Amino acid sequence: MRNEDRVLVNVARLTVWSVSLCLLLMGFMLVIVWLPGQPTEPGLPATDPVAKQLWSPPDSTGIPDTPEGDLIRYGRELVAHTAVYLGPSGTVAPISNGMNCQNCHLKAGKKIWGNNYSAVASTYPKFRARSGTIETIERRVNDCLERSLNGKALEEGSRELDAFVAYIRWVGKDVPEHTAPEGCGIKDLPLLKKPADPERGKVVFVAHCARCHGEDGQGMRKEGPEWLYPPLWGPGSFNTGAGIYRLSRMAGYIKMNMPNGVRADSIVLSDEEAWNVAAFIISQPRPQKDLAGDWPDISTKPFDYPFGPYADAFSEVQHKLGPFGPIVAAKEPK
């Protein structure tokens, strides 16, 4: 073989080797980039729960232009502006305290970890230990009116109740039956190893919450019958039967949503701050509800249910403020 031919062969071999090496390195980089467990949002650690696939709510512009769609839109209007229709001066019926459903169910029940409605349609009807019965979505809506809005129930078959249910079903229409997507409802926070501290919580409240809810916790009104920021205690707030009155529910809600505007990827408060400010809020005076019919099987009461009697030996104070670890451990099968 001539020298010129040998040179050409060597050049060709070198070129093939170089291309192969480049392809190998590119493949290695792709494996690293798409390795399972890597974050799906920039700046989030792989272990962060926000990095999982979160529920994506449906777009309200997709509500159909049909009679059923009209009912869904009316339901959304009732959730967003409850006070206009059902508040003390409501145009339909004066049956609630003037708060809107979306004061607790943020963005009309569509915000991630904002007490959203994503898993309601997929899991109801279901047995609820609080009532000891199988409950429908209609019952759940009326429970919220009677507890969180400290009001009265809507009549079965009323257009308003049907509209609430139609909207809630529409919000969760893409969630498979008997499942709850990531980001649904309220996030469970790790339990503190000590009691939550209302006095420390007051410091957090003054620093982060008072500018919207007022130093007296009585909220800030819009023009008209609605709250811009709702009262957190006092006669116009939720009563002692509301689910958000439980410390773990309040703490998880605050952590993922407050101060106003916080999202799951822009958290401001630490877990301990969220527990403490929640303890401060639920320690303030508010309307009382007759709870005699709740939790007929007292052994099913949640660890943070603040009213006895209990099936364990822990006090009401510990059930209200913690530490909750020993209560949870005592419930575990031996």
Residue 285 scores a pLDDT above 50: yes
* Joined tokens for residue 152: 């009265």
Backbone CA torsion sign across 97, 99, 102, 105? negative
* Joined tokens for residue 313: 């030996």
- Note whether residue 21 is domain-resident: no
- Are both 296 and 205 inside the same structural domain? yes
- Note whether residue 259 is domain-resident: yes
- Are both 202 and 285 inside the same structural domain? yes
**Distance in angstroms (rounded) separating the CA atoms of residues 184 and 173:** 14
- Are both 232 and 324 inside the same structural domain? yes
- Are both 226 and 327 inside the same structural domain? yes
Question: What one-letter code names the amino acid at 64?
Answer: P
- Note whether residue 7 is domain-resident: no
How many domains, the chain?
2
* Count of other CB atoms within 10 angstroms of residue 197: 19
- Note whether residue 45 is domain-resident: no
**Distance in angstroms (rounded) separating the CA atoms of residues 61 and 98:** 28
**Distance in angstroms (rounded) separating the CA atoms of residues 249 and 243:** 7
Residue 9 scores a pLDDT above 50: no
- Are both 138 and 227 inside the same structural domain? no
Q: For 34-62, how does the pLDDT look when each residue is reduced to its tens digit (9 = 90+)?
A: 333 333 333 333 334 444 689 999 999 99
Q: For 20-33, how does the pLDDT look when each residue is reduced to its tens digit (9 = 90+)?
A: 444 444 443 433 33
pLDDT: which is higher, 7 or 299: 299
- Are both 132 and 237 inside the same structural domain? no
- Note whether residue 18 is domain-resident: no
- Percent of the residues in the chain that have a pLDDT greater than 70, as a whole number: 84
Torsion angles phi and psi, residue 55, rounded to 5: -60, 140
In contact, 227 and 103? CB cutoff 8 Å:
yes
- Are both 223 and 318 inside the same structural domain? yes
From 122, 154, 171, the end of a domain falls on: 171
- Are both 74 and 150 inside the same structural domain? yes
- Are both 144 and 203 inside the same structural domain? no
Q: For 95-109, how does the pLDDT look when each residue is reduced to its tens digit (9 = 90+)?
A: 999 999 999 999 999
Any idea what the CATH number is for the domain that residue 81 is in?
Answer: 1.10.760.10
**pLDDT given for residue 333 in this prediction:** 87
- Are both 80 and 157 inside the same structural domain? yes
Alpha helices in 230-324 (DSSP H): 247-257, 271-282, 316-321
- Are both 167 and 218 inside the same structural domain? no
Tell me, what DSSP letter sits at residue 128? E
Query: What is the Cα gyration radius of the chain?
Result: 26
- Note whether residue 35 is domain-resident: no
* Count of other CB atoms within 10 angstroms of residue 4: 8
**What Å distances lie between residue 282 and 53, 135, 236, 269, 298, CA to CA?**
32, 27, 14, 18, 22
Of 278, 85, 257, 309, nearest to 197 (Cα)? Answer: 278
**pLDDT given for residue 138 in this prediction:** 98
Rounded to the nearest angstrom, the gap between the alpha carbon of residue 318 and the centroid of all alpha carbons in its chain is 24
**Lowest-confidence region among 16-20, 185-189, 255-259:** 16-20
Q: Residue 87: which domain range?
A: 61-171
Q: How big is the chain, counted in residues? A: 334
- Are both 134 and 205 inside the same structural domain? no
Place of tokens 């603040």: 306
